[in-house]
A and B are shown apart, each in its own frame.
Chain A
Amino acid sequence: MNIVVCVKYVPDAQGDRTFNEDNTTDRANVDGLLSELDEYAVEAALKIVEAGEGEVTVVTVGPEQAADALKKALQMGADKAVHVSDEAIHGSDAVATSLVLAEAVKKIGSPDLVLTGLSSTDGTMSVVPAMLAERLGLPQVTQVSTLEVADGTVKGRRDGDAVSESLEASLPALVSVTDQINEPRYPSFKGIMAAKKKPVETWSLADLGVDAGQVGLDAAWTKVESFAQRPPREQGEIVTDEGDGGTKLAEFLAAQKFV
């Protein structure tokens, strides 16, 4: 069972978000980390391989610092890593990101399973998995909270608001997992030591045979025109209930045009 896990390097949500002059997220000059939602995909892959056999390869598309996301996944226990890094990728949208990822997955070899997170924690579009499946011609089983692999099939449960769906697909397949699927492990110090010896390959667009004109900000289908900081939340109003709390609450809601 060979598994490829797509992991994204995202700005640390704890830090301040900054932007480049071209209105793209500054990913180079901020502290970043492995997108927390992708840790669930890494954990799911490790569990499958630990229960049977095979290899987990993690792949990321991102700037030089994105190697940190790969390192974390290797420290958790992934076997090897691929870093696609190229100046021309800067500003890519989900369409271009999925193209680069698809070519990278092909070059890694034909995996039995491609795993992704539910969504990145910065772009949060949740579209890369579906686009990637299309490009690879794989069945897509998205947003599952359980995952079982047996006899050439993959089964999972997708929990919606009203119903839960049981999904099944033949392998090879692409599966995106939610944060309900498992409890990702922390790396251990032994994992940290072991990761130092694991192979990390760095590929450029040329290595993947992708034309630079198909990616980057100029090729993006959408552009960020401008942005503004969200205004700070205003101090709330505290109503002390002196028997007339209900009335005051109703007055407040009416004033805000909620009722």
Chain B
Amino acid sequence: MTEATSAAVTLVAMPVQRLMPTPESADLIELTRDLARRELAPRVDAAEKAAEMPRDVYLTLGEAGLLSLPYPEEYGGGGQPYEVYLQVIEEIAHAWMSVAVGTSVHSLSCYALATVGSETQRKELLPDMLSGRLLGAYGLSEPDAGSDVSAISTRARRSEDGSSYTVRGRKAWISNAGYADFYTTFVRTGDDPTRGLSCLLIPADTDGLSFGAPERKMGLASDPVREVVLDDAVVDAGRLIGEEGEGMKIALAALDSGRLGIAAAATGLAQSALDVAIAYAKERRQFGRAIADNQGLAFLLADMEAAVSSGRTAYLYAARLRDAGRPFTREAAVAKLAATDAAMKVTTDAVQVLGGAGYTQDFPVERMMRDAKVTQIFEGTNQIQRLVISRQLLK
């Protein structure tokens, strides 16, 4: 097949029917599809191949109000329920997975301030963070603290007059690193493994904050991931979010919500792979007929559809619980597990449907397969999701 056919296949319109709760949220989906079609789809292929972080794309999304949807209007947010915000993330992921992840990480990094920050902090800092001009990063993981957050060793020592913290340590695997304007960072202020953690909102231009080399990743190339090195970085005490010792609680609560962003993004990615597979299966002919005319292949497509829909249903259910103020930790973990395993399966099967073509970089499904893998790893590996789910079941 030619380049032109491959591009045509890439640009299949988003086919998902959405039942939106309000007319304005339906318009928001329209706007997102328009942005995806005109700003994301034409650029994803080249940017991912060049491992380019499209900072300008985030400015465009920010101007359209897409970087602040789930936060209150009084601070410049969109005041939208998670049910709506997550479907926007899914739409973005359908066109460009890295940008959906970057958007979700940005939301995650605003979470601490928006939920436990003092009124003074919120008034002072949140409007800028939600303006769409700034981008955030979330610093939880460390080289020796991945699944085990209680092993965090980055130290923050308070100055004698109590006015600042001196922070020393390394944060690993930080998405948006080097491009973000603020880093929501979890640090150790006390020795108790879980109750000794605190949350600091560190500006990018802080002295002593620097970056490691970009990680050479398997996929998600346009999401720049690096270490954030804190070498006696001095952070104003006014940047402590919540109380000292509340860090673990904040981080876990943020992840409950962040996980839903990843579930939604994984769903959009899987939908995109399925769309390419369907278009290809109808066009490609072998044995004198379209390959889709073989039930063995058509059933593969049916299983892919069932997997994508299950992931979507799971994240929407968790989102609606969250929007209603109900506990949703278990359901969020189920959604993350179901949607990301679905994404892995569906993208792998999409490569299968395209045969040899699927294994080449002339078609987007090999990239989607590589992008899918990380969704089973970050924001809590899928083993950790099982840990969360089973603990909830057995408590």
Please indicate the chain A residues that have their CB under 8 angstroms from the CB of B35 in the complex: 186
> Is B190 on the interface with A (CB-CB < 8 A)?
no
Q: Which of A71, A185, A187, A192: most chain B Cβ within 10 A?
A: A192
Q: List 19 A-B contacts (CB under 8 A).
A: A71-B27, A75-B27, A185-B63, A186-B60, A186-B63, A186-B64, A187-B31, A188-B63, A188-B64, A189-B24, A189-B65, A189-B66, A189-B78, A190-B65, A192-B27, A192-B28, A192-B31, A196-B23, A196-B24
- Tell me if A186 and B31 are in contact (CB < 8 A): yes
Partner of B64, one of A14, A189, A196: A189
**Which 6 pairs across A and B sit closest by C-beta, in order of nearness?**
A189-B65, A188-B65, A192-B27, A188-B64, A189-B78, A186-B64
Nearest-Cβ distance from residue A45 to partner chain B, whole angstroms: 19
Nearest-Cβ distance from residue A75 to partner chain B, whole angstroms: 7
Q: Mark A163-189, 1 if CB is under 8 A from B, else 0.
A: 000000000000000000000011111
Partner of A189, one of B34, B60, B69: B69
- Tell me if B24 and A14 are in contact (CB < 8 A): no
Which residue in chain A gives the minimum CB-CB distance to B69? A189
The total of chain A residues at the interface (CB under 8 A) is 12
Nearest-Cβ distance from residue B359 to partner chain A, whole angstroms: 23
Q: Mark A52-84, 1 if CB is under 8 A from B, else 0.
A: 000000000000000000010001000000000
Which residue in chain B gives the minimum CB-CB distance to A238? B2
> Is B252 on the interface with A (CB-CB < 8 A)?
no
A192 and B63 in contact, given A14-B13, A186-B34, A187-B31 (Cβ under 8 angstroms) = no
Please indicate the chain B residues that have their CB under 8 angstroms from the CB of A190 in the complex: 65
Nearest-Cβ distance from residue A47 to partner chain B, whole angstroms: 15
A192 and B13 in contact, given A186-B31, A186-B35 (Cβ under 8 angstroms) = no
Please indicate the chain B residues that have their CB under 8 angstroms from the CB of A192 in the complex: 24, 27-28, 31
Q: Which of B31, B35, B66: most chain A Cβ within 10 A?
A: B31
Considering the chains assembled together, what is the distance between the CA atoms of A193 and B31 in angstroms? 12
Nearest-Cβ distance from residue B127 to partner chain A, whole angstroms: 13
Interface set, chain A 175-222, CB cutoff 8 A to B: 185-190, 192-193, 196
Nearest-Cβ distance from residue A190 to partner chain B, whole angstroms: 6
Nearest-Cβ distance from residue A32 to partner chain B, whole angstroms: 12
Please indicate the chain B residues that have their CB under 8 angstroms from the CB of A14 in the complex: 13
Residues of A at the B interface (CB closer than 8 Å) are 14, 71, 75, 185-190, 192-193, 196
Which residue in chain A gives the minimum CB-CB distance to B37? A14
Which residue in chain A gives the minimum CB-CB distance to B38? A186
Considering the chains assembled together, what is the distance between the CA atoms of A185 and B31 in angstroms? 11
Please indicate the chain A residues that have their CB under 8 angstroms from the CB of B34 in the complex: 186
Q: Which of A186, A189, A193: most chain B Cβ within 10 A?
A: A189
Please indicate the chain A residues that have their CB under 8 angstroms from the CB of B65 in the complex: 188-190
Interface set, chain B 134-165, CB cutoff 8 A to A: none
Considering the chains assembled together, what is the distance between the CA atoms of A189 and B65 in angstroms? 5
- Tell me if A189 and B31 are in contact (CB < 8 A): yes
Q: A186-B64, A187-B27, A188-B65 given; name 6 further pairs at CB < 8 Å.
A: A185-B63, A187-B31, A189-B66, A192-B24, A192-B27, A192-B31
Considering the chains assembled together, what is the distance between the CA atoms of A196 and B80 in angstroms? 16
Please indicate the chain B residues that have their CB under 8 angstroms from the CB of A189 in the complex: 24, 28, 31, 64-66, 69, 78, 80
Nearest-Cβ distance from residue A188 to partner chain B, whole angstroms: 5
Please indicate the chain A residues that have their CB under 8 angstroms from the CB of B24 in the complex: 189, 192-193, 196
Interface set, chain B 6-34, CB cutoff 8 A to A: 13, 23-24, 27-28, 31, 34
Considering the chains assembled together, what is the distance between the CA atoms of A193 and B66 in angstroms? 13
Nearest-Cβ distance from residue A242 to partner chain B, whole angstroms: 21
Please indicate the chain B residues that have their CB under 8 angstroms from the CB of A185 in the complex: 63
Nearest-Cβ distance from residue B50 to partner chain A, whole angstroms: 24
Nearest-Cβ distance from residue A184 to partner chain B, whole angstroms: 10
Which residue in chain B gives the minimum CB-CB distance to A189? B65
Q: Mark B73-96, 1 if CB is under 8 A from A, else 0.
A: 000001010000000000000000
Considering the chains assembled together, what is the distance between the CA atoms of A71 and B31 in angstroms? 12
Considering the chains assembled together, what is the distance between the CA atoms of A188 and B13 in angstroms? 21
Please indicate the chain B residues that have their CB under 8 angstroms from the CB of A71 in the complex: 27
Please indicate the chain B residues that have their CB under 8 angstroms from the CB of A193 in the complex: 24
Please indicate the chain B residues that have their CB under 8 angstroms from the CB of A187 in the complex: 27, 31, 64
Please indicate the chain A residues that have their CB under 8 angstroms from the CB of B63 in the complex: 185-186, 188
Please indicate the chain A residues that have their CB under 8 angstroms from the CB of B80 in the complex: 189
Nearest-Cβ distance from residue A30 to partner chain B, whole angstroms: 14
Please indicate the chain A residues that have their CB under 8 angstroms from the CB of B66 in the complex: 189
Considering the chains assembled together, what is the distance between the CA atoms of A189 and B22 in angstroms? 13
Considering the chains assembled together, what is the distance between the CA atoms of A188 and B64 in angstroms? 4
Please indicate the chain B residues that have their CB under 8 angstroms from the CB of A188 in the complex: 63-65
Nearest-Cβ distance from residue A76 to partner chain B, whole angstroms: 11
Nearest-Cβ distance from residue A78 to partner chain B, whole angstroms: 15
Considering the chains assembled together, what is the distance between the CA atoms of A98 and B78 in angstroms? 40
Please indicate the chain A residues that have their CB under 8 angstroms from the CB of B64 in the complex: 186-189
Nearest-Cβ distance from residue A219 to partner chain B, whole angstroms: 35
